[in-house]
Chain A
Amino acid sequence: MPAKNNVEVLCVNNLLAHAMVRLDEDSVHYLFKQGIEQGIDSLTLLEEARAGVQKVSELYNCGKYFLGDLIVAAELFQDIACMALETTMAPTTSGLPPIIFGTVEEDIHDIGKNITIGILKSKGFEVDDLGVDVPPLAFVDAVRQTGSSVICLSGLITTAYDSMKKTVSLLDREGLRPGVAVVIGGLVSEEVRRYTGADYWVKDCTTGCQLCDAILHSGPVKKAVHL
């Protein structure tokens, strides 16, 4: 392996974040490999990629970038996270229990879910993605297995509201409800939150990520509030 050269390290790092912001797939992959060859720690490179996603979300929040850009940024970050995992055994996340995330039973809309998960991961959260059309029992099992305190339910069709409601009831019946904050997102409202018995509802990923952060770090203090 070539000797570490601080000037080059800086260059690769900066370029990687910039390539992420330009959503330039070839450069992102090339720069990551280049960085590893130069002996840069893969977690340092992953941090750079994170900074890139962060910038993309900021550009999205101020209306300069669009949903497609978020989708691609989340995908590229995922690539880098996989490549980083291959080159290191060190944990890449915060050490907190994972956030359980899924599109609820009968619903298959997952674009918003995947974007939100991409951003959560880029912020260092561990996320257990259960996929789409997830039955209530699968959420309950996941909470039991991981000891997670946040479960995120995504749903865009009206039949999803019943699935959300069933999931909340099952958590209740299994005695897990007090320890878990239930966040719903997608095509939801205060009316839907009330109907389903969830704790929080959000309509965008940025608020959703802030909310998960707040719950994980300080506990579900402001239940039944929409941030």
Chain B
Amino acid sequence: MTNAELLAEKKARLAKVIALEKPDRTPVILMEDSFCAVHMGVKLSDFCSSLKRENEVMVSSVKAMGPGVDGITAPYGAGNLFPLIFATKVKLPGKELPDNTLWQLDEREIMTVDDYDTIIDKGWGAFQRQYLIEKINYPFDSMMEQLGHGQEFINNFEEAGYLVYSPVVAATVNEQFGGGRSLPKFMRDLFKIPDKVEAALDVIQAETVAVLRQQIRAFKPQVVFLSPARGASAFFSPKLWERFVWKYLKATAEVIIEEGAAADLHIDGDWTRDLEYFKELPKGKCIFETDGTTDIYKIKEVLGDHMAIKGDVSPVLTSLGTPDEVYAYASKIVRDIGPNLILSSGCSLPPNAKVENVKAMISAVTGR
């Protein structure tokens, strides 16, 4: 089989799972970035030096795992892009941190309450660029230039026969304030000035969704990753959750689906209370990507005939466990979750995951 044929087979397999049809086998998608650097013996400082470097290293790492892997979540790492999602400074290895230390979000209150008004009056785009450059020293223009090479980064995987699961990445808009104001201050704002926060979020949402539509039209992705990173039900009362998380999560997922892609809902933390809400989204168009905190069996029970499920081999297992333990868990969910499953780690593979454990996870679908 040529790489092009292999890629077509993998895309078709994924499409079947998302549409809730029966695939020939469970697809396995690796969600990883820092792990690839460690796997390839590349220092994290070198890895993070550019999106191009991240892409090169990630392509080599996926190839080294063998053709059984269907694809990778994103074409480059997350560390450099965090400020765009969380409005927070990120400390990078080789810059603010030692060469082989994982990047760190340096969350503190940088946005002010007055910034809500500025955003409402002047719009998000102009504010965001100036904020990132002036307040957190983010190399905004260089990053935009690098992101402009997105298609090349995707091609590097596809030419090798691996799909890029989600070439377009989005986060729900509340994260901009959860990070920029800092989570404690943002939470206080939700009690003290909820109307103002909502008005500012509506402005960000309108602009973000317009950009997202353009990106989807440009890249024509099969799937778009959408992270409501700190939107877990465990954080909010039902009233606040509905108003400040679900409203934006649902609206953004609907736009993704309207533009012809499937929405990968990246669900970290405990969302058990609100699983029923996800039935409001169209059937066969979403993937519930669990990090393992929301129990995968519970997700199947509530949403199993509504959307595909991605997950959820735990980072504790891939880093501290043995290949046999990983294989046993992965095989168990492949069997129990059935044709709805996209096998993956629960959120990212940790940098200290053992290579033989990742191989054991893959072999649960490709055979040992």
Contact = CB atoms under 8 A, between A and B. Distances in A.
B105 A158 contact: no
Given A158-B319, A159-B102, 18 more contacts: A24-B191, A25-B191, A66-B233, A67-B234, A68-B235, A72-B184, A75-B187, A75-B188, A108-B105, A108-B107, A114-B184, A132-B104, A158-B318, A159-B351, A161-B320, A162-B352, A189-B316, A195-B320
A111 B183 CA distance: 8
B315 A158 contact: yes
- Secondary structure at the A interface, as helix, strand, loop or mixed, is helix
Interface-central residue, A69, A71, A114, A158, by most chain B CB under 10 Å = A158
Pairs of residues from A and B, 4 with the lowest C-beta to C-beta distance, nearest first: A158-B350, A158-B319, A108-B104, A67-B235
A159 B316 contact: no
A187 interface: yes
A132 B232 CA distance: 22
Interface-central residue, A66, A75, A106, A133, by most chain B CB under 10 Å = A66
A69 B184 CA distance: 10
Contacts of A72: 184, 187-188, 191
A192 to B, nearest CB: 7
Interface string B234-260: 111100100000000000000000000
Nearest to A195: B320
Interface in B161-196: 183-184, 187-188, 190-192
Interface of A: 23-26, 65-69, 71-72, 74-75, 106, 108, 111, 114, 132-133, 157-159, 161-162, 187, 189, 191-192, 195
B101 interface: yes
Given A106-B101, A157-B350, A66 B191 contact: no
Given A157-B102, A158-B319, A189-B316, A68 B190 contact: yes
Contacts of A191: 316, 320
21 contacts: A23-B191, A25-B188, A25-B192, A66-B233, A67-B232, A68-B190, A71-B187, A72-B188, A72-B191, A74-B184, A108-B105, A111-B183, A133-B104, A158-B316, A158-B350, A158-B353, A159-B351, A161-B320, A189-B316, A191-B320, A195-B320
Contacts of B235: 66-68
Nearest to A156: B315
Interface-central residue, A23, A24, A67, A161, by most chain B CB under 10 Å = A67
B184 A66 contact: no
Contact of B192 (A26, A108, A157): A26
A142 B224 CA distance: 47
Interface of B: 101-102, 104-107, 183-184, 187-188, 190-192, 232-237, 240, 315-316, 318-320, 350-353
Contact of A71 (B183, B316, B320, B350): B183
Given A71-B187, A108-B106, A158-B352, A192 B237 contact: no
A19 B101 CA distance: 43
A135 to B, nearest CB: 11
A189 B320 CA distance: 11
B79 to A, nearest CB: 12
Interface-central residue, B107, B240, B316, by most chain A CB under 10 Å = B316
A26 to B, nearest CB: 7
A66 B237 contact: yes
A106 B353 CA distance: 16
Contacts of B192: 25-26
B147 to A, nearest CB: 25
Nearest to A114: B184
Contacts of A133: 104
A72 B104 CA distance: 24
Contacts of A106: 101-102, 104
A26 B235 CA distance: 22
B315 A66 contact: no
A65 to B, nearest CB: 7
Contact of A68 (B102, B236, B320, B353): B236
Contacts of B352: 158-159, 162
A189 B190 CA distance: 33
A68 B187 contact: yes
A68 B237 contact: yes
B105 A71 contact: no
Nearest to B238: A66
B106 A159 contact: no
Contacts of A189: 316
Contacts of A26: 192
A161 B235 CA distance: 25
Contacts of B320: 158, 161, 191-192, 195
A189 B319 CA distance: 13
Contacts of A114: 184
